[in-house]
A and B are shown apart, each in its own frame.
Chain A
Amino acid sequence: MEVKILSAKFDIKDAHKIKVAKKHGAYSTLDKLFSMPPEDVIELVKESGLRGRGGAGFPSGVKWSFLPKDTGKPVYLAVNSDESEPATFKDRYILVKDPHMMIEGIIICSYAIGSHDTYIYIRGEYTTQVKALQAAIDEAYAAGYLGDKVGGHDYTVNVTVHRGAGAYVCGEETALLESIEGKKGQPRSKPPFPAVAGLYGCPTIINNVQSIASLPFILENGAEAYKAYGTEKSAGTHLFGISGHVEKPGMYELPLGLPLLEVIDKVAGGVWKGRKLKGVIPGGSSTPVLLPEEAKTVTLDYESMAAHKTMFGSGGIVVLDETVDIVQLVKNLIDFYHHESCGQCTPCREGLGWMLKIIKKILSGDGTMVDLNLLRELCDNIELKTVCVLSAACTMPVRSYLDKFRHEFEAYVANNDSSAAEAK
């Protein structure tokens, strides 16, 4: 089931070093790249069906085509290496094992969108990864693949690594830009969209590490070769992360479209310790949970996930066994989102804190049915009223747990007298 497109060089010794990487094809697409008009590169990426691998799944080529032409302002590329969505752990493999693939992707994207300056936003916690990344960038400069005259061609690409310092919200594209500009990572209202007014008010494209790293393959082998993997609307491969209660947790590159439960069993060894499956989180903590019954018909692509009222997300699959206390799990999640809220807008700032206090109250045994219903109602009251979707990243999954595992929550409040007086 596993494939080696993005991870082709991951098991090759020293593939992160430019000498070895080049032997295996790194930077070999540059001559072809610079012989094409930039618009053709954009068309190629559109054709390939590559969708943003950070979690939103927006078609990358289409995003690039939103850039306004001839504004007189510099165009920036920002590479999102924040990777803070719980259950997501894929991009760092690229940074450590095959960084030159990403740098090559940066060159491809920069040329296509007319950008000469790239900022790689990397989360602060990735200490070893940032060292590896910077070493690769230094090698690329020394070998003439970055700087003026990239690969001997008349084009400049400069790359600067910008370290974050512990904020999940900076994975949101406009918060990421704010952070590069030296401010708190507080998302901006859209419109204007970053393609029009992004970094320093200039047209900006923000792409996930994996999306960028997918570009050399597409350029080398063409759109059809990329579409050969995956489904019609969800083309290509993805670095899936499987974690939680499985025998063989880890990162696995798979084509999109495979059946979820089959992947869990065949690739990750199935639920661990011989236990029963209770639920599956399909694409990172922000995605609604799937019950085993529901998971039976799910395939790992954007369409199937949407049809099952959840999301493909970042492809971070978390398996829950029968021993999981869902109420504790929900508290763990709300705690995370509350901690990571940027604090800018009222519903998220005040609402997530309220939700956390309510679920703690429920867990302590003092909760009532009124509290439980309020927790459920807050999911609706907060969602979509905020500047960004961090609030929805909390309320969407929490709602799914409250609805699909209601009995577990009710068990916590059942012993309180107030539940008898409960009106709703």
Chain B
Amino acid sequence: MADKIKLFVNGVEVEVESGKNLIDAIGAVGIEIPHLCYHPALGADGNCRMCLVGIEDGRPPLVPACKTPAQEGLKVLLDAEHIKKIQHDVMEFELINHPIDCPVCDQAGECKLQDYYMSYDQVDSRMTVPQVTKGKKMDFGAGVVHDQERCVVCGRCVRFCRQITKTGELGIINRTDDARVNIFPGRPLNNRYALNVVDLCPVGAMTSKDFRFKQRVWFLKKAPGICHGCAKGCNITIEHNREKYKDDVIYRFRPRKNDQVNGYFICDAGRLSYKAENEGRLTEARLSNKAIPVDEILTAASKEIERAEKTAVIVSPNCSLEQMIAVKALAEKLGASLSGFSDGYIKSGDGDDFLIQDDKAANRTGLTLLGIDSSKQGFEAAVQGAKLLINFDNDLGLSYEEGALKKLLQGIKIIAITSHDTDCVKMAEMAIPVASYSEYAGSVINCDNILQTFGKAVTKNNDLADICAIAAGLGSPLASPEERFSALQECIGALKDLEPDQIPAKGLKLNDSEAANVTV
């Protein structure tokens, strides 16, 4: 915990953390200093001049807050007349050449110029001479579209590509009011985090080709979530909306700050993985390739389970801890072998030294901590001589070639309990649709042993049950959330003394030895 110091803002004493700049220090106690070019992940640049504050008895008396460290006794002036005038004047300069694109600009509703105009300006334009014109709708690659006229030349996007991804595709060329962001011809944006510049851009100069014109942001409901694209478990905001007469659909994922996990950013693949939540879903129960109501299929499945002499169960490494423990209890009750075999989810060499992991599964650590065997031999031994395989959302098509999979599972009836209608599901005798991760609450443990919980974000018109409910419906003894949590507490020491609502919002770091301490 950093030291606390006392300084004054508008004559009122506040306690702030030392070692921070004024924007962060004073922002942490709820007082906003407007700024465009500063970003905590990128550092201060000092070019927008929006964060200029007065320092009483200061030399100099006017400083950019982003470059001024919080000091004991500093007397910061924010509401003083002359500071208000400066904020107004800077806004005027930002707006004189700014195109009034709001009606067609994606940023409307989350635009710093709009917000600051309302807070610090609210005056008609005095611009009676022609505006500077620049390029619009420029394809920068990687799904990023740039509008040079809207750009406030804050440099955040340039600094992101140079400091964070170290790929340096962007630059600010020319000087004076001809200055504009551009890529070098023939060298477009080409890194796996490029779309972060769309979030970083305080205005609508950087927009996402994918999101362009799809939805007005004030209609979007924003729910916190965890990306399931790989084992990093980046924190995201799931932004969704149900338009009139339509279904609740996700329009985009955006990163959510978590210093322990992903910082401020997410990768492009994870960002765009919202599409997989909307598409390719299994929406109806199927028996022998014919649609049947869900409760009927549960009955049919139970009958199959009773009939089968030997049953094997496989679970997905993407399942939540709650789902995994419910499935484990079910397998034990049925006397079935349980496997978490999912080698195909690992793409060796694909990970990088920033966020992207080789392992595209969100909760493999959960399998380990719950003592679920994930070896190939284990799985193949489990299905050897089995008559029934209950597959809880594990896409075996990733781990096996189609031919090899068919051979392995020859003569075995398959009940596929799944969110997505993959090829492997089409092989199944019975298919039961379940909720995907944006539609249920749960917990996952990431590659750094951080346990994170997430709530239900999306409620579809046809709101599907999740794997916990289906497992219970098939006979799992852990039928309630309380029972499941208790069972988890047996396996994961760090949960022993916690209530479910006491798990920290930013994640619970498990000991590294925890992972080694497998309690079966």
Contacts and interface: CB of A to CB of B under 8 A. Distances in A.
Interface in A324-347: 338-347
B127 A343 contact: no
Interface string A349-373: 1111110011011000000000100
Given A347-B93, A353-B132, A184 B175 contact: yes
Nearest to B93: A350
B175 A167 contact: yes
A374 interface: yes
Contacts of A384: 62
Contacts of A341: 175-177
Nearest to A191: B67
B49 A357 contact: no
A344 B52 CA distance: 15
Contacts of A297: none
Contacts of B427: none
A340 to B, nearest CB: 7
Q: Which bracket fits the contact residues of A?
A: 20 to 34
A381 interface: yes
B129 A387 contact: no
Interface in B105-130: 126-130
A35 interface: no
A347 B49 contact: yes
B64 A346 contact: no
A357 B126 CA distance: 13
Interface in B73-104: 86, 89-90, 92-94, 96-97
Q: Which bracket fits the contact residues of B?
A: 20 to 34
A346 B176 contact: no
A350 B62 contact: no
A18 to B, nearest CB: 39
A385 B62 contact: yes
A386 interface: yes
A167 B132 CA distance: 21
Nearest to B174: A343
B176 A385 contact: no
A128 interface: no
B175 A346 contact: no
A183 B127 CA distance: 33
Contacts of B174: 343
Interface in B170-191: 172, 174-179
Interface string B40-54: 000000111110100
Nearest to B86: A385
Given A347-B93, A350-B94, A350-B97, A357 B129 contact: yes
A323 interface: no
Contacts of A386: 49
A370 to B, nearest CB: 8
A374 B174 CA distance: 27
A357 B127 CA distance: 10
7 contacts: A189-B67, A338-B176, A341-B175, A343-B179, A349-B176, A350-B177, A387-B46
Interface of B: 46-50, 52, 62, 64, 67, 86, 89-90, 92-94, 96-97, 126-130, 132, 152-153, 172, 174-179
- 7 nearest CB pairs, A to B: A343-B179, A357-B129, A353-B177, A350-B93, A341-B176, A343-B175, A189-B46
Given A361-B129, A387-B46, 13 more contacts: A341-B175, A346-B50, A346-B93, A346-B152, A347-B89, A350-B93, A350-B97, A352-B176, A352-B177, A360-B129, A361-B128, A385-B90, A387-B49
